[in-house]
Structure 1
Amino acid sequence: MISASFRVRSGVALLVFMAGCGTAKEGTAPRVARVEPVPPPESVWLPAGRFEMGSPAGELGRDVDEGPRTELAFERFQMDVTPVTARAFAARREQVRAKEPQARWWTDAETPAEWLGRCNLDSERTDHPVNCVDWRAARAYCEVIGGELPTEAEWEYAVRASTTSAFWWGESFEAEQVVGSVSCGSRGCLGGTAPVVHAGPRCNGWGLCDMAGNVWQWTATGYQERLGEDAPSEASGVPEKPVHRGGSWLNHIPSLFRSAHRGLAYPKNGLTGVGFRCVHRP
């Protein structure tokens, strides 16, 4: 596991100078009010290395689009420890809107009636992952904080954390490792997302938490049926079918939480189970 010395925080405190109604007396400093900055995302450095993307032919629950297995190499990069929270997104949503006018998101009050669960923005669930955000909004947020969405390959490299097993913790599903609906046996029976964590059984060997479960996570990669092929993007650079990874609180099928599983968002299912995290490359 990466040691605590690899944990990175970046951010600058914001000072606002308050002018009084009259002129300040000579020799006195102007009143200063400190505005608490939005907590910067906590991230970890992931080591350089090589891995095989995809799943072996005999893996239980394997889908055909998880191959052919492709060997890839990475230089080190940073990834957020947790999915972006509702609090963090809310604090920057005006910047996100300015950067990407076409971005869409839904608040708790705007949650469509046909979607299972609730959208977390503008609710008391500020420490839950932000959900109900589309791909454009996720990309814009990452760019606002100086990062990017991870590629699909980067995401799988990160979730595996040097493991080769079906799940990052082993070959068999373990309910304590994820926020999901497997234990109660039907889609969405858990009821909703859970607060993010920074330690414990939901964190892998590289210190990344909720890489499986809680919310699916958008990637920068467009879907292709075979690994190793590049999907064409729209003229705006937006993938026609962006891949998301990891499984969510909605899912009750264990195989969806495997490290190699690839997901696509479907409009009829809504976005209460979809969020994101960012990467920061040197």
Structure 2
Amino acid sequence: MKSCCSVSRENFDDSHEKKVSVQGNATFSQKDMIFLEGGEFLMGTNDSDGFPSDGEGPVRKVVVDPFYIDKYAVTNEQFAQFVEETNYKTEAERFGWSFVFHLFCSEKILRDNPQRVAQVPWWVPVKGAYWNQPEGPGSNIEDRLNHPVVHVSWNDAQAYCEWAGKRLPTEAEWEFAARGGLEQKKYPWGDELIVNGKHRCNIWQGTFPTKNTKRDGYIGTCPVDTYEPNGYGLYNMSGNVWEWCADWFTPKYHLSNENHNPKGAESGTNRSMRGGSYLCHKSYCNRYRLAARSSNTPDSSTGNMGFRCVADA
């Protein structure tokens, strides 16, 4: 089963200076953060919808310590403040391009950027696309300040966390938080995708990748406080944008004997992502479930990848 949402910068032969330092804060603001007491939970899934090759199962008992987590994914407005204070340039800016979903590209953008990745031709490597120009030259975020920032790599997310005095969540922390106190449910609210005719997350409806019926109200990203929060008060833990996690990704994650604050592999080529995005659809990848996992190279950026922060209690 392929992942419709993932496309990597490693498909292209590019290089740039990657090391960028920012001044970090000694303390973090608890504004819009939720304190979670931690504890034991059942991580992963044995469900038939799961992908064993991704390392989703088997279900195992995991314990996480107390931590704080952002109620929302980091917004364009928050990222703009970070950039203003640090003059930080994202990897998309330094590479000079980032991946944009084809339906969001104008005819001119498509003509000017003819290159494609054969396996995922709906992703267009657009010159000039970055967090402040999500669809490339001519686009902006003026009406999307409360939407999640996108076109940020794992390295960019790390830099933001350092500045904010926070960090990225481990996969275990992310899944513990996303479940909202529910045990072994598919989604943050239960097992049914649509409840009483009401959409609970921003994912693809229609025929991927050509027709989105917009039945949940959105084609691209939605504001970070859209839909109802989970049992812990966290928003959009399924859909909207993929969220970077701290861990190196390995499909053998479930084989680890570490069950207290597991941190994934010691090294690797890809970093883990959780939560799915507005491009996820059951017919293709179905990775907006709570146990689902994906990954990408730390320097990759797309129009559907963002992040949220955590902090030690």
TM over 0.5: yes
- Please state whether the residue corresponding to 2:78 is helix, strand or coil: helix
- Please state whether the residue corresponding to 1:158 is helix, strand or coil: helix
- Structure 2 counterpart of 1:166: 186
Match of 1:83 among 73, 77, 80: 73
CA displacement at 1:184 relative to structure 2: 2.6
| Whole-Å separation in 1 of the counterparts to 2:97 and 2:289 | 32
- Structure 2 counterpart of 1:273: 304
Contact 1:106 1:132 in 2 (8 A): no
Contact 1:248 1:273 in 2 (8 A): yes
Match of 2:199 among 173, 176, 181: 176
Contact 1:215 1:247 in 2 (8 A): yes
Deviations 1:12-58 (A, max 9, x none): xxxxxxxxxxxxxxxxxxxxxxxxxxxx85111112210121102xx
- Please state whether the residue corresponding to 1:138 is helix, strand or coil: helix
1:205–1:246 distance in 2 versus 1, CA, 3 Å: same
Contact 1:120 1:129 in 2 (8 A): no
| Whole-Å separation in 2 of the counterparts to 1:126 and 1:207 | 21
Contact 2:240 2:304 in 1 (8 A): yes
Contact 1:129 1:196 in 2 (8 A): yes
- Please state whether the residue corresponding to 1:256 is helix, strand or coil: coil
Aligned residues: 230
1:89–1:270 distance in 2 versus 1, CA, 3 Å: closer
1:60–1:68 distance in 2 versus 1, CA, 3 Å: closer
- Structure 1 counterpart of 2:292: 261
Structure 2 unaligned spans of 5+: 1-27, 106-129, 133-139, 257-263
- Structure 1 counterpart of 2:265: 231
Contact 1:120 1:130 in 2 (8 A): yes
Contact 2:148 2:306 in 1 (8 A): yes
User: For residue 53 of structure 1, what is the amino acid of its counterpart?
Assistant: M
- Please state whether the residue corresponding to 1:83 is helix, strand or coil: coil
- Please state whether the residue corresponding to 1:257 is helix, strand or coil: coil
Percent identical residues: 32
- Please state whether the residue corresponding to 2:246 is helix, strand or coil: strand
- Structure 2 counterpart of 1:193: 221
The structure whose RCO (Cα within 8 Å, separation 6+) is larger is 2
Match of 1:123 among 125, 141, 154: 141
Contact 1:116 1:272 in 2 (8 A): no
Structure 1 unaligned spans of 5+: 1-9, 12-39, 234-238
Contact 1:55 1:67 in 2 (8 A): yes
1:113–1:43 distance in 2 versus 1, CA, 3 Å: closer
| Whole-Å separation in 2 of the counterparts to 1:117 and 1:228 | 40
- Structure 1 counterpart of 2:278: 249
Give the TM-score normalised by structure 2. 0.65
| Greater radius of gyration (CA) | 1
Q: Does 1:93 align with 2:83?
A: yes
